[in-house]
Each structure stands twice: as C-alpha cells, then as structure tokens.
C-alpha cells in the first residue's frame, strides 16, 4: 500500500477543494484507499489536508458525483468498487472498453448448450424459433473480481463450434473472427435494472440486495445479419454504462 | 375492465403461440390484465386458448423476453408495471419518448433552488464552482403513476427564471425555448443502478427494494454550450432505456 498523496505544492488557479478531490482520487487510484473500504472520517481528513470540514465536504461531494465514493447514511463514506466505464457504441467490445480504463478482463465459460431450439432468441437473431442455436454462459472478471454475467446466443447454422472457438481464443471477438465473422457491430441495446436471483448474486460474488444492470443487445455482421443476441448482467457497483450522443457536435 | 381478447380468427402463417402472445399483449395493453397483477395460472390460460401448456409457455416466454411480464419463482407470472421504452439519443425528450409509446407524461415541480453555487454541477456545465445555478427537482408520472425523479441544474447567468418558465410551460423543452434556447442536444449519458433511498422510494411510490436506473446527462445548445446538467432516477420496473447504435447500417 502506497502512502497518501500530499498537497505540498498547490497550483495557482485551482480551488482548495478541487486539489483535495484530486488528491483523494489519486489515493483511490493507487489503492491507498482500496475499493470497498471506508474513507477516514471527515474530521481526520480535514485535519490531514489542513482545511475545514466544509471544504473537505465539497471535495467528497465531487467524488460522490463522479462515482468514486458512496455516502451511506449513518455509516460514512465508502470507496466504490472499481467503477468501470462501459461505452455502448457501434463497436462495443469488452476488452477495448476495459483497456480504456487501464484494466483487463478475464472471461470464462461457465456453461454451454449446443444445438438447442432458438425459442425466445429467434426474434433477435431473425431466425425461426425451431432453428438451432449455440448458447454460451460466461462470466467476466477484472482483478479477480466478477463484474458481469452473459448469456449469448449464436445461430448454429453459421456458428457451430462457438464454445470451442471461445475456449481456444479466450475472447468473443476472436472466436467470431476464427469462425469467419471478421467484424460485427452493435445494433441496439436495451437497458434495465433489477435485483439478482440468489444464483446470479452468487456468481457475481455480491449480496442479493446489490442491483444488476441488465443489457439486452444484438450484434450484426457487416451485411446487417444478426450473429449474436445476448443478455449481460453487470454488477451495478462496478460498471457504469456510457452513451455518447454528442459526436456530431465535435 | 374490458373483456379478454378472443382468438376466433387465427390468421394463416402465424404460429399458435405467436397468436396467443399477441392476444395476451392486447389484454395487457387494454388493462384487462392490469400492471402489477398476476396472470391466471398456466392451466387456466391454456384452457382459455384451447392449447397445451407447452404452447402456452412459449407465448409467456416471448412476453417475458419482451418485458411485458415477469416470472417470479414460486409465485407465478406477473404483468409488469407499464414498461416504457426511453430512447437515449441526440434529441432525448421525455414527451416525445412517451408519445412513441402512446403515453403522456405529467411532469411536476417538487422543489427548486435559485441562485445557489454550482459546486459539483460546475464541471458538467463548464462554469466555475462559484457560479450560480437554478436547481429544479421534478417528478414525471404516466397515468398517475410516478416513473422518474430528476434533479436538473441550469446556469443562472443565462437561465434565471427557469422554474417559473417550467411552471408556465409545463415542459423543460418549452421552458428552455421561452428563455431563448431554441434547440438542445444530449452530449452524453452515464447509466448506473442502485436501490433508492427511503425518500426517493416514497416519491416514486415504490418499495426500497425496487432498484432505480440512474442516468446522469448533459444537454448542450446548438453551439455546444451546456445548458442543462441533470440526474434522473427511473423506476426500473417502469422504464427501459434504449440505445440505437445501428443507424449507419440502415
């Protein structure tokens, strides 16, 4: 564990609370204040930075708004679990989204079903309900901590062997590429939230009282043909979804 | 309460379970099966439609996937609260999103603060932390049922009188227009989920165990200058966020 960031050289033009927020951010990033741990109380922090509690509170409010910490009524301020920004965009890739955050995802195959009827997945994949699909159940973790569970369906006619390809390539993108899908793009994402079932909570190593973000989505190939329909549950304490709609203004 | 939809004239080319799903959808839309109520059990429904339970189950699975109903382990199938699709797009407008679903939102002002320091809202609005803002706390309802709570900040220098304009115009878009912001677009949205505080749950008329979707966003004017920074809590049983990233393929 590193030592706390000091504020020896305040730079001109920056407010005191902004400097403190920056120092606390650095302490969280370095692991001095670990994810899931409680921050020292206001009086101690105010003393450390040599400011009054009002100034300190402004810094903590900024960190709360930015998602670095949570204030829990009656029990202090807690460093949020690893909060990852997950961009929902035309090319949505788990590994690239995490690389942006300087992190690396480990994705493991929990279970699979090969050649079962498409049923409820048929519509999104634009195949008949009796057509066969490959179902992959995967879990993604960052720094050994689960962040998401996915159930993904692939048309068997085109992508039989998807599970084996995933086990070989260790990535959905690479597996699809090895089966001839050179590129794919996200058509749409539908986002909701709910509490996890006991099994889901268990797989995410979280309490059943911690909500999950539920993202249903479809990926299509360069010709617009669906290659993947999936539902991902993100641990909402670890992942924030980002939607950028301002590109045209840049 | 209307009478249930009959299946007297099955159309050719549609599977039986699809017809049943369509009939159940119509019954939910008409209020015959009300939001928050439990569907009759499988045997009764199978009997009503004159099909076996397997066929009925296919229809219910389709409705589950589409978000019309929830299957709760051990307690049957429940009609979901009014599920509204809320598109996160360049021009994100509450009223237009609900009009798409054939619904109308009532938005009420719960509280306001005028001329307070921007503090944590400064960054998103690109003003200094000491600049003044107008804060509006609003609640939106559909058919008399709360669906969301918003806290929205506007720069006082440009938009003093925002609260009065909202009370006069009954819409954020119209209020901004009356204060000289003819058009605005969404720059970005950040989406997370959590359980509501007791006060939030109370304002949404829901239990504290029902998660909320938390959307932080910024709207800018035609020149790209921020005019609104806000945080909206959506009751996750009532609203699904939609992100369309497939336009370029059309």
Which range in A59-68, A229-238, B32-41, B62-71 is most confidently predicted, on average pLDDT? Answer: A229-238
Q: Which residues contact A219 (CB under 8 A, 6 or more apart)?
A: A92, A184, A185, A186, A187, A226, A227, A228, A229, A230
**If we measure between CA atoms, which residue out of A40, A197, A191 comes closest to residue B83?**
A191
Write the pLDDT tens digit of every residue in A167-182: 999 999 999 999 999 8
Contact A236 B211 (CB under 8 A): yes
| Domain A84-243 class in CATH | alpha beta
Q: Which residues contact A97 (CB under 8 A, 6 or more apart)?
A: A84, A85, A86, A87
Superfamily of structural domain B84-244 = Chorismate lyase-like (3.40.1410.10)
Best mutation target among A74, A124, A191 (most B Cβ atoms within 10 Å) is A191
Q: CA of A65 to nearest chain B CA: how many angstroms apart?
A: 7
**If we measure between CA atoms, which residue out of A229, A82, A36, A58 comes closest to residue B122?**
A58
Pairing of strands B239-244, B105-117: unpaired
Q: Which residues contact A50 (CB under 8 A, 6 or more apart)?
A: none
Q: Hey, where are the domains in chain B?
A: 16-79, 84-244
Write the pLDDT tens digit of every residue in B54-82: 999 999 988 887 778 888 777 789 887 77
Chain-centroid distance, C-alpha A226? 24
Q: What is the pLDDT of residue A66?
A: 72
Q: What is the pLDDT of residue A73?
A: 73
Write the pLDDT tens digit of every residue in B77-123: 988 777 788 888 777 777 777 787 777 888 999 999 999 999 889 99
Which band of pLDDT confidence, cut at 50, 70 and 90, is reported for residue A8?
very low
Burial class for B4, CB neighbours closer than 10 Å (0-12, 13-18, 19+): middle
Q: Which residues contact B247 (CB under 8 A, 6 or more apart)?
A: none
Sign, CA dihedral B104-B146-B68-B25, equals negative
Report the complex ipTM.
0.71
- Beta partners for residue A213, in sequence order: A193, A234
Q: Does B119 touch chain A (CB under 8 A)?
A: yes
Q: What is the pLDDT of residue A122?
A: 93
Contact B242 A189 (CB under 8 A): yes
Which band of pLDDT confidence, cut at 50, 70 and 90, is reported for residue B8?
very low
Cβ atoms of A172 and A197 within 8 Å: the answer is no
Tell me the CATH number for domain A16-79. Answer: 1.10.10.10
Write the pLDDT tens digit of every residue in B191-206: 999 999 999 999 998 8
- CA–CA separation, B104 vs B195, rounded Å? 26
Which band of pLDDT confidence, cut at 50, 70 and 90, is reported for residue A220?
very high
Best mutation target among A83, A128, A194, A243 (most B Cβ atoms within 10 Å) is A243
Contact B193 A15 (CB under 8 A): no
In angstroms, the Cα distances linking A208 to A41, A200, A218 are 28, 8, 27
Span A75-98, average pLDDT:
80
List of chain B residues whose C-beta atoms are within 8 Å of the C-beta of residue A236: 192-194, 211
Cβ atoms of A37 and A21 within 8 Å: the answer is no
C-alpha neighbours within 13 Å on the C-beta side of residue A217? 26
A202-241 residues touching B, CB cutoff 8 A: 209, 211-213, 220, 224, 236, 239-241
- CA–CA separation, A234 vs A81, rounded Å? 13
Q: What is the pLDDT of residue A250?
A: 34
């Amino acid at each position: 564990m590193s030592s706390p960031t000091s504020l020896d050289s305040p730079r001109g033009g920056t407010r005191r609370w902004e400097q403190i927020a920056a120092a606390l951010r650095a302490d969280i990033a370095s692991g001095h204040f670990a994810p899931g741990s409680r921050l020292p109380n206001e009086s101690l922090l105010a003393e450390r930075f040599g400011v009054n509690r009002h100034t300190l509170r402004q810094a903590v409010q900024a960190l709360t708004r930015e998602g670095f910490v949570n204030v829990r009524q009656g029990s202090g301020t807690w460093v949020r679990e690893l909060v990852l920004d997950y961009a929902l965009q035309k090319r949505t890739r788990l590994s690239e989204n995490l690389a942006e955050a300087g992190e690396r995802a480990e994705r493991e195959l929990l279970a699979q079903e090969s050649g079962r009827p498409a049923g409820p997945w048929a519509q999104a994949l634009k195949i008949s309900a009796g057509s066969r699909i490959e179902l992959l159940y995967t879990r993604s973790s960052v720094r050994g901590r689960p962040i998401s569970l996915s159930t993904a369906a692939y048309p068997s006619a085109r992508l039989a062997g998807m599970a084996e390809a995933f086990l070989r390539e260790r990535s959905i993108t690479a597996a699809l590429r090895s089966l001839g899908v050179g590129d794919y793009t996200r058509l749409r994402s539908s986002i909701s939230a709910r509490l996890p079932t006991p099994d889901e909570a268990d797989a995410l190593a979280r309490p059943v009282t911690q909500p999950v973000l539920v993202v249903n989505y479809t990926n299509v190939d360069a010709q617009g043909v669906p290659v993947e329909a999936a539902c991902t549950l993100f641990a909402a304490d670890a992942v924030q979804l980002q939607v950028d709609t301002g590109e045209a203004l840049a």
